[in-house]
Amino acid sequence: MSTLHRNPPFRAEHLGSLKRPQSLLDARYKEGKSDEELRPLEDKAIADIVKTQRDLGFHAISDGEYRRHMFWGTFWPALDGMEEIQNPPLDTFRLYVPDIAAFMETGHKPGESVYCTGKIRHTGESTYVAQVEYLKSVLPEDKWGGMKLTLAAPNWYHLRYVDGKAYPKHVYENYNAYFADVAKAYQVELNILYQAGLRNVQFDDPNLACTQPPPLPSHPNLCPRLTPRTLDFCSEKMLKGWQEDASNTVTADQLLDRYIALYNASVIKIPADMHVGVHLCRGNFVNSRHFSEGGYDRIATKLFTQLNMHTYYLEYDTPRAGGFEPLAHLPKSKNVVLGVITSKFPELEDKEEMKRRIWQAADVVAEGRGESREDALKGMGMSPQCGFASHAEGNLIGIERMMKKLALVREIADEVWPGEP
């Protein structure tokens, strides 16, 4: 992939989902309005939030995911061979996978899930084209290149299921055949979106940050030369559950390799001017709860050197994400957007402290590459660590405070990267 240091990604970013106005939530959930009745309300709310983003100085503009109930949207259930099931049976899930465990620990259970029932095939029609077209209608044409659309991770409906439940054995003989059809479906989707004018895609993936062993020792200069380990994801609880699950036929390390190959196959046909990034999410759930913990240390080498993404949107708002040491492995051809501002709680971060953290991260990148801080900063940006509303109701933060957080992101970016978008 070609080097894409800017436009997109931008110095000041956000992760796509934004708090919905209460009037829209009430119309959808309290008044039970139909999709047709909701459309003009959604259109108005999206036009307003697009203007807000532009007024705040953002260039990667989303529709706030205002037409979605949950961050993963409508791609999967729209595929032939995939079926959305309400109140799915719990025995199909790996209960130790962080998003499922978070449901269970808070007294909830998954309200719906999507299951493979036949050969997976893209129908040739995207459920997102209308969203892209509406964004284009409320943006000047010279801003279309920054429009951001988020997609669910291609592994989203695999990790959560007990081995053997992700697809019927009479449909797919093995994971290779299953993943091959998933990748083809993403190839078709990305091509359709490109033809519609989209150039900026962000995959939202809570799974890649779930799987890792004990942390590696820290170098005094925050820049260790990390070495590969046998287990490669990031959550201790997840790894323990994986190791104890006798039904698993592969190690966590092997699973990560398969997911990286799946991603790479999904984006292999994108045009040179289409930007793709991945947000390694640790989850947003009830009362701003996260799903998983653990640094990026154990997956850093594979994540940055083998996964064919232009940009990594990484969560760095709390110590649960670990230190900046893994950024030593970021190649010069890749970008990182540091999620140092939390979207979960209303308290505003200290601007000077955030700038120091960005410079500290830049020093790690610089040492790993053998370059100056100034050169390292050319491939970096900043953002909140996650969306403000991964589920429609959103985090424990009001709209006005969200605006202050976004304004703070822009203000910090302007001081670290003066004069840049």
Mean pLDDT of the chain: 89
Are the CB atoms for 82 and 120 separated by under 8 Å? yes
- Distance, CA of 8 to CA of 143 (rounded, Å): 11
Q: SS3 for 84?
A: strand
pLDDT tier at 96 (50, 70, 90 boundaries)? confident
At 78, list the tokens.
Answer: 């729209």
Binned at pLDDT 50, 70 and 90, residue 289 comes out as very low
What average pLDDT does the segment 284-298 reach? Answer: 55
Which pLDDT score is estimated for 225?
29
Q: pLDDT confidence of 321, banded at 50, 70, 90?
A: low
Question: Is the separation of the CB atoms in 282 and 315 below 8 Å?
Answer: yes
Mind listing the pLDDT tens digit for each residue in 152-206? 999 999 999 999 899 999 999 999 999 999 999 999 999 999 999 999 999 999 8
Whether the pLDDT of residue 332 is over 80: the answer is yes
3-state secondary structure of 210: helix
CA distance 218 to 90: 40
Contact 140, 194 (CB under 8 A): no
Work out the average pLDDT over 23-29: 97
Distance CA 298, CA 321 (A): 12
Least confident of 1-15, 124-138, 298-312: 1-15
How far apart are alpha carbons 126 and 222 in whole angstroms? 44
Give the 3-state secondary structure percentages of the chain, helix then strand then coil, rounded to 5: 40, 15, 45
> Predicted confidence band at 320 (pLDDT cuts at 50, 70, 90)?
low
155: its two tokens: 């592994």
Structure confidence by residue, pLDDT tens digits, 201-250: 999 998 886 644 333 333 333 333 233 333 335 456 777 888 888 888 88
Alpha-carbon gap, residue 271 to 350, rounded angstroms = 40
For the chain, which domains are there?
22-416 (3.20.20.210)
Peptide bond preceding 9 in cis form (omega within 30 of 0): yes
Q: How far is CA 45 from CA 37, 134, 198, in A?
A: 14, 12, 21
Segment 327-347 shows an average pLDDT of 96
**What are 335's strand-pairing partners?**
311
CA 60 to chain CA mean position, Å: 15
